[in-house]
Amino acid sequence: MEQKKVTILDLKEKKARGEPITMLTAYDYPTGLLVDRAGIDVALVGDSLAMVVLGHENTISVTMEEMLHHCRAVARGARRPLLVGDLPFMSYQVDEREAIRNAGRFLKEGGMDVVKLEGGSELVHTVRAIVEAGIPVMGHIGLTPQTISKLGGYRVQGKDLTAARALIDDAQSLEQAGAFSIILEAIPSPVAQLITQQVGVPTIGIGAGPGCDGQVLVIHDLIGLFDRFVPKFVKQYAKISPIILEALTSYRDEVIAGTFPGPEHGYEVSEEVLTALLKEFGEWR
Ligand code: KIV
């Protein structure tokens, strides 16, 4: 039996009940399917796919077309989770009309339910414009990988008083602009907990401690499929790279040794066809 689709209202109710929200990234049909089967509330087609799937150095270069391609695949696999499409760098910063148009494409062409964008107070007009166009927006503050050069690298945000206050201000501004939820990335746990208490919308943390309303991780980090670097906040629940590697080298070895494919992996023809072929071509086996 198909389970009821998760909505933004469900997330709000979970915050009210103090029930943790679960969220993971998904990038294609199999990961979408697995995230759904695991009972995860929210599936994010994150622009992190630029790094963990497409092999780029950072998330800057991923395009709208690439994002939409992956969104469609995830939407085919993940039916129950709320589907969040990540607006890529420069798809929402130029002007509000372009931001609305691109956000709309995530719903119309990508099969997503909502969009996410990175930034705080400076983006309130954009967030409001997208929300007023009928598209729910998830905010993302703290470590925002699209502006990594401005931040001076992948580092914890909100460590001093001014920066912590600025993050609280960002979160409140996003809420006032209509964001239905906010990702808090790489923020000290007490600061993230305070932000969570200061806003009415659910916060989802990644490297922001247990005081958020929910947690998100990059699926490739969680299963140990991306090992270029592993951030401190990641818990690897599995290490599947060595398992896959062992399977691939065993296959290679067996093909070279002639032990794969075995008789059980092949198809037979009837005696009648075999006899006729033998008669026409002679013994070939
Ligand atoms: O792109 C992404 O995967 C993200 C998460 C880290 C929240 O934005």
Supply the pLDDT for residue 228: 87
What is the number of other CB atoms lying within 10 angstroms of the CB of residue 121? 15
pLDDT tens digits for range 203-244: 999 999 999 999 999 999 999 999 888 899 999 999 999 999
Spatial CB neighbours of 251, under 8 Å, sequence gap ≥ 6: 260
Backbone φ and ψ of 282, nearest 5°:
80, 180
Give buried/exposed letters for 144-161 (b at 16+ CB in 10 A, else e): bbbeeeeeeeeebbbeee
Spatial CB neighbours of 153, under 8 Å, sequence gap ≥ 6: none
185 belongs to the catalytic site? yes
- Domain definitions of the chain by residue range: 8-238, 243-281
- CB 25 near ligand 1, within 6 Å: yes
Supply the pLDDT for residue 97: 98
Global pTM?
0.96
Choosing from 57, 65, 122, 185, which is the catalytic residue? 185
Side chain identity at residue 209, one-letter code? G
Rounded distance, CA 35 to CA 241, Å?
19
Q: Residue 183: which of 92, 107, 86, 94 has the closest Cα?
A: 86
Spatial CB neighbours of 80, under 8 Å, sequence gap ≥ 6: 2, 3, 4, 5, 6, 36, 39
Alpha-helical regions (H) of the chain: 8-17, 29-37, 49-52, 64-77, 96-108, 124-132, 148-151, 161-177, 189-198, 219-222, 240-257, 271-281
pLDDT tens digits for range 8-61: 999 999 999 999 999 999 999 999 999 999 999 999 999 999 999 999 999 999
Of all residues in the chain, the percent with pLDDT exceeding 70 is 99
- CA 147 / ligand 1 centre spacing (Å): 13
* CATH code for the domain defined by 8-238: 3.20.20.60
Backbone φ and ψ of 77, nearest 5°:
-95, -40
Supply the pLDDT for residue 1: 60
Q: For 218, what's the count of Cα atoms within 13 Å in the CB-facing half-sphere?
A: 22
What are residue 25's DSSP bridge partners?
44
The pick from 51, 183, 204 for probing ligand 1's pocket by mutation, whose C-beta has the most ligand atoms within 8 angstroms, reads: 183
